[in-house]
Amino acid sequence: MSQPFAWSRLLGSPLWRWLSLLAVVPLLAAIVAPAPAAADRIKDLGTFQGLRANQLTGYGIVVGLAGTGDDSLEYTTQGMKGVASRFGLALPPGVNPALKNAAAVMITAELPPFAKPGERLDITVAALGKAKSLRGGTLLMAGLQGADGQVYAMAQGNLAVGGLGIDAADGSKVTVNVPTAGRIPGGATVERAVDAGFANAPEVRFNLAEADLTTVGRVANAINASIGAGRARAIDAVTVAITAPQGAELRTALMGQIQDLSVDPADAPARVIVNARTGTVVINGAVRIAPAAVTHGKLTVKVSNDLQVSQPEGFSQGQTAIVPKSKIAVEEERRPMFRFAPGASLADIVKAVNAIGASPADLVAILEALKQAGAMKAELIVL
């Protein structure tokens, strides 16, 4: 009769320890291995030439206002006469109606690429004249034109206005947000499509949102690796030209395949953005500082005037007078000098500035001085 297998002996044997080690090593390697660098999709880096939105603009009349319209503006009256004439109505000569319940407006919309007749567009309506509020108004039918003067959509509907304006008889006024502008969701209907032109073009072109020689080369290499060598070539720092078969159907499928490819974009150039109005300073991680020593002092001069009463002695026949007494105090805040080591990074800059308690305005002055001294190799942009 065979003896039962002794599991306790195997668990304590050197063989079991080696088997355990072999199982743990791959797990540790998976934990310690660095994660792959995040890549961007080509569709997030730019757009294909021709696939863009088109701006539409129109002029219209909003009616139904509660006495907050343009009143007697001439172009509003002319617009109302034009609307009335379309329905066979004509105002007597010399009659100029006071249109307190109507307002002249400008209409704007954006026609997306591949928009087809019958699709709905959101539109924005803004007062053109003296209207105080468009709340509760209705936009009469108006055409929306493109840059070529052709009508591509027709707009009409009830306005949604988020603002409120109220005037009282005594002249007091309360205004919340902007009552002279509103939106009409789906307020325009597309009447004409725009030909994108990519179906019959000699080649398909992809344009980067930001010019970069390294990134455009990587995009071309990624496209060639996916659809075949030599199909894509970088023309300049923005454009990649792609050889594609003729026909909208084949090119649409090819462009859909290309835009989902992943590319590691090049690092952004060193930039420091300064908003002089708000005091906002943004420094990207590529900024480096050469060896430099910085000191930033602050001198404050305070002048105060105190009024004192001068009382004459008894029987001196003098008069009581008020005598001003000025005090001048000079305060100089002590700011120690700090030094940037060679190749100082963004973290080093923030640490040094926080150590001296510099305000945003002080930081702007320090960065400008470092740029003038040649210690900061970065583009300084002042908004």
Please indicate whether residue 74 or residue 158 has the higher confidence score (pLDDT): 158
Distances (CA, A) of 311 to 215, 268, 306, 322, 324: 83, 74, 16, 9, 14
pLDDT attached to residue 30:
42
The 232-234 sheet, strands edge to edge: 46-48, 204-208, 239-242, 232-234
Contact 335, 297 (CB under 8 A): yes
Mind listing the pLDDT tens digit for each residue in 64-103? 888 888 776 666 666 666 666 666 666 666 655 557 888 8
Q: How confident is the model at residue 195 (pLDDT cuts 50, 70, 90)?
A: confident
- Compute the Cα dihedral for 83, 84, 86, 87 and give only its sign: positive
Where is 207: in which H helix or E strand? strand 204-208
Question: 28-42, 133-147, 316-330: which range is least confident on average?
Answer: 28-42
Which two tokens mark 315? 């029987």
pLDDT attached to residue 37:
45
pLDDT attached to residue 176:
66
Q: Where are the beta strands (DSSP E) in 136-265?
A: 138-145, 151-158, 164-167, 173-176, 181-190, 204-208, 232-234, 239-242, 262-263
Which two tokens mark 177? 């947000």
Distance CA 278, CA 270 (A): 22
Where is 290: in which H helix or E strand? none
Please indicate whether residue 186 or residue 381 has the higher confidence score (pLDDT): 186
Please indicate whether residue 185 or residue 74 has the higher confidence score (pLDDT): 185
Query: Is pLDDT at 189 greater than 90 in this prediction?
Result: yes
pLDDT attached to residue 188:
95
Residue 189 CB contacts under 8 Å (≥ 6 apart), including other chains: 118, 119, 120, 121, 153, 154, 155
Pairing label, strands 204-208, 46-48: antiparallel
Which two tokens mark 138? 């209705």
Average pLDDT (105-118) is: 92
Mind listing the pLDDT tens digit for each residue in 255-264? 889 988 999 8
The CA angle 313-316-321, to the nearest 5 degrees, is 65
Dihedral angle of Cα 61, 63, 69, 70, to the nearest 10 degrees: 30
Chain mean position to CA 60: 30
Question: 185-189, 193-197, 289-293, 347-351: which range is least confident on average?
Answer: 347-351
Average pLDDT (286-300) is: 68
- Compute the Cα dihedral for 181, 185, 191, 194 and give only its sign: positive
Mind listing the pLDDT tens digit for each residue in 363-373? 777 777 878 87
Q: How confident is the model at residue 357 (pLDDT cuts 50, 70, 90)?
A: low
Average pLDDT (103-123) is: 92
Phi and psi at 204, nearest 5°, equal -90, 135
Minimal CA–CA distance to 103: which of 82, 84, 122, 126? Answer: 126
Average pLDDT (4-13) is: 51
Q: How confident is the model at residue 290 (pLDDT cuts 50, 70, 90)?
A: confident
The CA angle 292-293-297, to the nearest 5 degrees, is 140
So where are the chain's domains?
Answer: 54-190, 204-263, 271-303+331-382
